[in-house]
Amino acid sequence: MADHWEFVIAAYGLAAIVFGAYWRRLCHKERELNALKSTSRSESTMRSRQPSTTGRA
């Protein structure tokens, strides 16, 4: 039987693309969440540094 290397390359190539794309998606999501976390942390720090309106003037 012929070897059909093109089918072997297609199968492994597709697997590399699918796994690579899924891994990149997870990494992208991780970066987004980290950015969101650092933004909300800096916002809460800014709020805590502002003078209190309920305390003495």
Partner 1 sequence: MTRVLGWLAAIGLAIGLGMGFGVAPRETTQGNVQRIMYLHVPTAWVAYLAFGVVLLASIVYLARRAEAADRLAHASAEVGVVFTGLTIAAGSIWGKPTWGTWWTWDARLTSVAMLFVMYLGYLLLRGMIDDRERAARYCAVLGIVAALDVPLVHFSVYWWRTLHQPPTVLKPGAASMPPVILATLLVNLVAFTLLYAYFVAKRARLLRAETEALA
Binding site for partner 1 (CB under 8 A): 1-5, 7-8, 10-12, 14-15, 18-19, 22-23, 26, 29-30, 33, 36-37, 40
Q: Sign of dihedral through CA atoms 29, 31, 37, 40?
A: negative
The nearest distance, CB 27 to partner 1, in angstroms, is 9
The nearest distance, CB 50 to partner 1, in angstroms, is 23
Rounded to whole angstroms, the Cα distance separating 49 from 42 reads 11
Rounded to whole angstroms, the Cα distance separating 38 from 44 reads 10
Nearer to partner 1 (CB atom), residue 3 or residue 57: 3
